[in-house]
Structure 1
Amino acid sequence: MTQSPTIPLPPPTERRRLRESQSLTQAQVAERVGVSRETVRAWETGRTTPRGRKAQRYASLLASTPAPATPTPIPTATVAVAVTEAAVGEELPPAAPLTPAQAFDALYAFCAPTLVRQTYLLTGRRELARESVERAFQLAWHRWPEVAVDPDPAGWVRATAYECALSPWHRFRPRHRHPEAPPADPADRTLLSVLLELPPPYRRTLVLHDGVGLGLPETAAETEASTRAAVGRLLHARTAVTTRLPELADPDRLSSGLAGLATHARLRAARPSSVRAGSERRARSWTRAAIAFTVALIGATTFTLHTAPTRYEPPVAPGTTVEGVPPQAAPGPLSRTERDLRKKLENTTSSGPRRVHPEPR
């Protein structure tokens, strides 16, 4: 009697990544394995470990994830290790290390499709979701030495994409002032409307916990809140959804509804090569702008130094009013003597020798 080979179970830190690579929710995995959703969450967080036939079914489900094109780990980059471990239970021959571009492309192919759908749940806008994810990966490529050695590179990109998507400055962009077409299904329209009515922190907590499948401590850490605050936000968001959609009162059905809403959006991510090129082009533009600003600042400083006075010039004192000076008298009417004199001068000849040489009297 031959026995099927035992498939090794991946470590807890990789189980969630392998599930997300297949676009599966915790509820779907629990249904296929035959356990509850809370059990799957405990397996992914490492609180418990599956055993027996359930462990084999769980490992087989995770092992069905397609491996990357070049599954070779980078010794110093945890992102390459995370993507490479998707091929569970396979003995890989030693090969040359991945280049930074290959590791980035592997991370992008692993996270981008699912992350675009998650971001759509936060914004309700397809174009904004694509832009936010693309911008997050551009920042990741710009800071790749830091992201490559991060313990959770997918979480780093996800947090950056959520911050870009929920930025309040998008309301001032003309292209985002008008809402996009809602989903065709009435239930999806209602669910999306309820999500968009929630405050951004509550919406993000609901998506991370019930949509992505993070635990409460991980959700609280990613939203920069305490676990108690994360629980309050989650309960408030679930209550708001249940008020409009009573059929989603069960957390498993709510998770399935979020997954269905994100899947029906039919979102696509850009190519990783175009994302890397956009990041490099953006970095060059900012570098040139910084150089131009520095040159302008140096020119303004030089002009100021050349035109500035070299000696001290005391300021001119303001004028003061002098008192005691009598006002200038205006000419009044002529007296009789002055009128006779003026008449005599007018009748006297104004030319001739007598005018030049007056005779003595």
Structure 2
Amino acid sequence: MTQSPATPLPPPKERRRLREAASLTRAQLASRVGVTSETVRGWETGRSTPRGRKGEKYAKLLNSLGAEAEVTPPHTERRTAAASDRSRTSAGDRSRASGRNRGGRTAVTDQDRTAVADRGRTTVTGRRSVQARAAAPWRPDDAAALTPEQAFDALYAFCSPALVRQTYLLTGRRELAREAVERAFHIAWQRWPEVARDRDPAGWVRAVAYDCALSPWHRFRLRHQHPEPPPSDAFDRALLDTLLKLPPSYRRTLLLYDGVGLGLPETAAETEASSRAAANRLTHAREAVAERLPELADPEVLHWRLVELASIERLRAAKPLVVRRAGERRARFWTRAAIAFTIALIGATALTARTAPTHYEPPVPQGETVQDVPPPIAPGPLSESERKLRSKLRKEEPRGPVRLMPQPG
């Protein structure tokens, strides 16, 4: 029977905060403890409790991270993290340069995973830890220090690079990915009071960007009927082609869970599905990818390949000021268009009410033959000019000799 660790264990939120303060990803911390990243995810969300020797090792590691955070000055910690990032990135680059197999594919090694974790999880895929730091400017203690423009610019500068790359994996189109992200931020700026009070502003914008990118109306646009140049690597082309062949809901669920790193409840909520439906979509999507690319049967390997596929594309978003002003111009244009349409509709209604007839005039029936007597032939209905002439003749006084009229006897 396993017992809880003797070392005091902090609550789930504090566990995640200590890991983020040490600039560690779930995979890095899991490798130190000797478990999987999914196990660490369960420990940090409170779905499971660390037990046994692994739990004791995990508790000691968290306590050491807390002690280091108290002792290490902030500027020293930033320099140390930056130096470790550069060293891990260079090691990963050398590993990828020497890890090409005979088929021209890149071997995913431990050093490669570590480098991609430092470079991809924070700047490409937007993990939940990064999103928590992105939501920091909207905490109540900082709300008075930032203007709405500054808060929006901070959110855009943090989320847009990773969000463009994620949207590219959804659509396979670079220009469409940029347009979808900019459109999402236009909507966010129009509804900024709601977005600023949201618990996860980055998730709010991400959901809108995914909806814009997966809109079925894009198929009717002429420039989106021609395919864009695929990635240069053959394995990356196969992976992107496999993703695009998945149904949009499966593709979105796979990207949120295995690419972004959301939990199953968060993925189900963002895709507007139940947890069971999200789990089924994720299972079928993984099976479809593994059927075509057996190397990606492991979810952890699939995550690293998604990170690399997104990071190789040089996708840049516009400046925050440009996006904010474009959103304001778009809002002014549609507001004026709505006002002009309303005025035109009111004018047309008033004109119709002014010129419409006020009473019903039945049509003249056709003549019928009665006892073999044909109907009298009479002129047809008078035209407008003939009616005016008749009314004029009736109003004028008769001239000349008065016509003799028979008088009754």
TM above 0.5, yes or no, is yes
Equivalent position SS for 1:51 = helix
CA contact (8 A) 1:119 1:162 kept: yes
Shift of 1:212: 0.6
User: Which residues of 2 match residues 162-181 of structure 1 at below 5 A?
Assistant: 162-181=210-229
Shift of 1:34: 5.9
- Answer with 1 or 2: which has the greater Rg: 1
Partner of 1:82: 135
Q: How does 1:298-309 map to 2 (within 5 A)?
A: 298-309=346-357
Q: Which residue of 2 aligns with 1:339?
A: none
Structure 1 residues 10 and 148: CA distance shift in structure 2, 3 A: farther
Deviation (angstroms), 1:9: 10
Superposed CA RMSD: 3.6
Q: Which residue does 1:45 correspond to in 2?
A: 45
- Assess if the C-alpha contact under 8 Å between 2:138 and 2:151 holds in 1: no
Q: 2:204 and 2:15 mapped to 1: Cα distance?
A: 15
**Which digits, 9 at most, give the CA deviation of each residue in 1:3-45, with x for residues without a partner?**
xxxxx999479869969xx9x9754664577642113322553
Residue 274 in 1 paired to residue 322 in 2? yes
Query: Compared with structure 1, are the counterparts of its residues 79 and 163 closer, same or farther at alpha carbon in structure 2 (3 Å cutoff)?
Result: same
Q: Could you report, residue by residue, the CA deviation over 1:140-163 in whole angstroms, capped at 9, with x for unpaired residues?
A: 000001110011111110100000
How is 1:253-264 mapped onto 2 (pairs within 5 angstroms)?
A: 253-264=301-312
2:333, 2:236 → 1: CA distance? 41
Instruction: Report Cα offsets for 1:95-146 as digits up to 9, x if no partner.
Output: 9610000111111122111111111110011111111011001100000011
* Match in the other structure for 1:118: 166
Q: Following the alignment from structure 2 to structure 1, what is the Cα–Cα distance between the partners of residues 142 and 345?
A: 54
What displacement does 1:53 show? 2.0
TM-score (normalizing by structure 1): 0.73
CA deviation after TM superposition for structure 1 residue 322, in Å: 1.2
Q: Write the distance in 1 (CA, Å) between the matches of 2:188 and 2:138.
A: 21
For 1:149 and 1:85, locate their aligned partners in 2 and report how far apart those are by CA, in whole Å.
7
Look up the SS of the partner of 2:333 in the other structure. helix
Q: Which amino acid aligns with 1:82?
A: A
2-structure distance, mates of 1:251, 1:80: 26
> In the alignment, is the contact (CA less than 8 A) between 1:25 and 1:213 conserved in 2?
no
Q: Which residue of 2 aligns with 1:99?
A: 147
Distance in 1 between residues matched to 2:11 and 2:137, nearest whole Å: 15
Identity of matched residues, %: 64
Query: Take 2:217 and 2:291, find their aligned partners in 1: how far apart are those partners?
Result: 30
Change (3 A) 1:161 1:151: same
CA offset at residue 217 of structure 1?
Answer: 1.1
2:337 — aligned with what? 289
Deviations for 1:188-237, whole angstroms, at most 9, x for unmatched residues? Answer: 11110000000000000000000011111111111111111111111110
- Could you tell me how far apart the structure 2 residues matched to 1:213 and 1:26 are? 10
* Separation (CA, whole Å) in 2 of partners of 1:94 and 1:33: 35
**Which amino acid is the alignment partner of residue 52 of structure 1?**
K
Give the match's secondary structure for 2:199: coil
Matched to 1:41, the amino acid is R
Decide whether aligned partners of structure 1 residues 171 and 190 sit closer, same or farther in structure 2, where only a CA change above 3 A counts. Answer: same
Q: 1:94 to 1:239 in 2, by over 3 A?
A: closer
Task: Quote the offset at 1:305 in angstroms.
Answer: 2.0
1:334-349 alignment, distance < 5 Å: none
Q: Structure 1 residues 326, 184: closer, same or farther in 2, change over 3 A? A: closer
Which runs of at least 4 in structure 1 moved beyond 6 Å after TM superposition?
16-19, 78-81
8 Å contact from structure 2 (residues 19, 25) kept in 1: no
Q: How does 1:151-230 map to 2 (within 5 A)?
A: 151-230=199-278
Aligned partner letter, 2:59: R
Contact 1:136 1:157 in 2 (8 A): yes
By percentage of residues, which structure has more helix?
2
Quick one: structure 1 residues 288 and 33, their matched pair in 2 at CA, closer, same or farther if it must change by over 3 Å?
farther
Q: Which amino acid aligns with 1:316?
A: P
**TM-score, normalized by length of structure 2?**
0.65
List alignment gaps of at least 5 residues for structure 2: 1-9, 51-57, 70-76, 83-130, 376-409
Deviations 1:295-315 (A, max 9, x none): 1011111211221223x2431
**1:317 match:** 364
